[in-house]
């Protein structure tokens, strides 16, 4: 018997690679902009003139750091690669692609798994080659360290400016002031009138909600062009720059990779400058407003006039939790302008994000206040036969699955009681 091997027919397809390029500059300056345009033009010519390549675009991010992956064009490119529309990505260098080693390796490995290669021109690295990842790990670590050095140098320059009393402020988002040719703050007369009005209205007894409401009703936009909020009014009232002083380095960036600014609570030096620029309100008026803020905050049960909500504002604040999503219940007033006004506790997630986030839990303050609550509890709301039934579970006794061990809680007295009440239609104004 003779066996003949039939070899498979190999089809030779001259399939072109779908190739794109990625470019980035970290600032929005004119010089950097020209550099980005040059990169885009270079890659368009490089890809289009190669007969083996099919042009898949050039993705370019302007004025965004490489320490984060939160870059619009970068993410758009990755999504197309995941959809199988890109075979090869060309980029100038590791530092242009990413300055964060963890992000770099994560992206490279993900693309490698789906057969997408990255070529780093400067380092001459191809990620699908045998030693590509090893070289990439070493060199991207250098890129990350370089980013840290740049960040440290920038912080040092900013600190020196603060020590000399030089302000770093974006007046395009600062109501009441512009900058002159020397970089000094000068009053914007039209915007300053709004600032004075806010201070005067507050001392006349109006609250931040009322002031914001009236400005919105008169179609007076914020400095950013949006609508007024209570927090915006409060921030203006507490800003020392309106009395002519300036606090420098109120915020700082602890992590050069995350680029998230946090309030400086004495972690690093801050600088206070008196009579730095022309005031919009008198020093006396500004001080009176601060006293009034503290007075109103105390009347509400807050420790200070800060925008943070403190758990001791009301006895049950921070003690009640929604059984459906785990969020805290927030104290609210329903029908505040009508005779049927009442106080309820409602799921904060539902209030903020709507019924798509949580179907919500709500309970009358009168009902929940009858209970002797001394530790956080979960409020469980159920509708049976047209009536609402409530049960309460000690939060600390809840098991890992999110369901309380009811038998054990009954034994320990943690299940407080169930209360029935008819469903009531409420009109929210």
* The pLDDT value given to residue 412: 37
* The pLDDT value given to residue 65: 65
26, 327, 348, 362: the catalytic one is: 26
* The pLDDT value given to residue 224: 83
pTM over 0.85: no
C-alpha pair distances (Å), 422 with each of 3, 387, 419? 87, 5, 10
The answer to whether residue 151 is catalytic is no
Our CA dihedral for 304, 332, 416, 394, rounded to 10 degrees, sits at: -50
Summarised one tens digit per residue, pLDDT across range 26-55 is: 654 444 546 788 888 999 999 999 999 999
Burial of 382 (0-12, 13-18, 19+ CB in 10 A): exposed
* The pLDDT value given to residue 416: 39
> Which parts of 229-385 fold into alpha helices (H)?
230-238, 283-300, 348-353, 365-368
* The pLDDT value given to residue 424: 28
* The pLDDT value given to residue 312: 47
Three-state secondary-structure class, residue 411: helix
Are 333 and 316 in contact by the 8 Å Cβ rule? The answer is: no
pLDDT cut 90: percent of the chain above it: 25
Are 167 and 248 in contact by the 8 Å Cβ rule? The answer is: yes
Q: Residue 152 belongs to what H/E stretch?
A: helix 132-163
Summarised one tens digit per residue, pLDDT across range 166-207 is: 555 655 678 998 888 777 888 999 999 999 999 999 999 999
Beta strands in 242-334 (DSSP E): 246-248, 251-252, 262-263, 271-273, 320-322, 329-334
Query: Tokens 């091997």 map to which residue?
Result: 5
Three-state secondary-structure class, residue 114: coil
Three-state secondary-structure class, residue 175: coil
* The pLDDT value given to residue 191: 93
* The pLDDT value given to residue 151: 53
* The pLDDT value given to residue 401: 41
Give domain 171-300's CATH architecture. Alpha-Beta Complex (3.90)
Comma-separated ranges of CATH 3.90.1750.20 domains in the chain: 171-300
Give mean pLDDT in consecutive 10-residue pieces for the chain, a chain of 429 residues.
68 77 71 71 92 93 70 92 94 80 79 90 81 60 55 56 56 80 85 94 92 93 88 91 79 53 61 80 92 85 49 71 89 68 85 84 86 85 82 69 40 37 28
**How far is Cα 324 from Cα 321, in angstroms, rounded to an integer?**
9
Provide CATH code, domain 17-147.
3.40.50.1390
* The pLDDT value given to residue 307: 42
Comma-separated ranges of CATH 3.40.50.1390 domains in the chain: 17-147
């Amino acid at each position: 018997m003779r066996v003949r091997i039939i070899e498979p027919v190999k089809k030779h397809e001259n399939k072109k690679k779908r190739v794109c390029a990625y470019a980035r500059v970290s600032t929005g300056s004119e010089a950097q902009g020209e550099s980005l345009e040059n990169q885009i033009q270079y890659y368009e010519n490089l890809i289009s003139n190669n007969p083996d390549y099919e042009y898949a675009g050039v993705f370019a991010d302007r004025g965004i750091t490489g320490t984060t992956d939160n870059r619009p064009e970068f993410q758009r490119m990755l999504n197309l690669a995941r959809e199988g529309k890109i075979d090869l990505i060309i980029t100038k260098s590791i530092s242009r692609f990413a300055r964060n080693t963890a992000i770099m390796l994560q992206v490279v490995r993900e693309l490698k798994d789906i057969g997408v290669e990255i070529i780093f021109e400067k380092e001459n690295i191809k990620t699908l080659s045998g030693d590509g990842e090893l070289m990439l790990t070493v060199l991207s670590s250098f890129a990350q360290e370089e980013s840290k050095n740049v960040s440290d140098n920038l912080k040092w320059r900013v600190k020196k400016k603060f020590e000399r009393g030089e302000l770093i402020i974006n007046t395009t988002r600062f109501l009441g002031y512009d900058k002159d040719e020397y970089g000094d703050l000068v009053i914007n007369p039209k915007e300053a009138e709004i600032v004075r009005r806010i201070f005067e209205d507050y001392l006349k007894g109006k609250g931040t909600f009322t002031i914001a409401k009236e400005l919105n009703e008169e179609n007076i936009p914020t400095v950013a062009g949006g609508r007024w909020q209570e927090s915006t009014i409060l921030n203006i009232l507490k800003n020392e720059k309106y009395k002519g002083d300036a606090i420098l380095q109120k915020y700082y960036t602890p992590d050069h990779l995350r680029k998230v600014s946090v309030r400086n609570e004495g972690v690093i030096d801050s600088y206070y400058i008196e009579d730095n620029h022309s005031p919009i309100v008198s020093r006396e008026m500004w001080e009176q407003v601060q006293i009034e803020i503290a007075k109103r905050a105390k009347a509400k049960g807050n420790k200070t006039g800060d925008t943070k909500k403190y758990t001791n504002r009301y006895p049950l604040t921070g003690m009640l939790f929604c059984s459906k999503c785990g969020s805290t219940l927030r104290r609210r007033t329903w029908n505040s302008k009508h005779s049927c006004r009442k106080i309820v506790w409602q799921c904060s997630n539902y209030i903020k994000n709507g019924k798509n986030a949580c179907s919500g839990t709500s309970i009358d303050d009168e009902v929940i206040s009858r209970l002797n609550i001394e530790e956080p509890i979960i409020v469980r709301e159920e509708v049976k036969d047209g009536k609402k039934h409530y049960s309460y579970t000690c939060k600390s006794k809840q098991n890992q699955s999110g369901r309380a061990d009811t038998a054990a809680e009954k034994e320990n007295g943690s299940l407080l009681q169930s209360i029935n009440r008819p469903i009531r239609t409420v009109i929210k104004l």
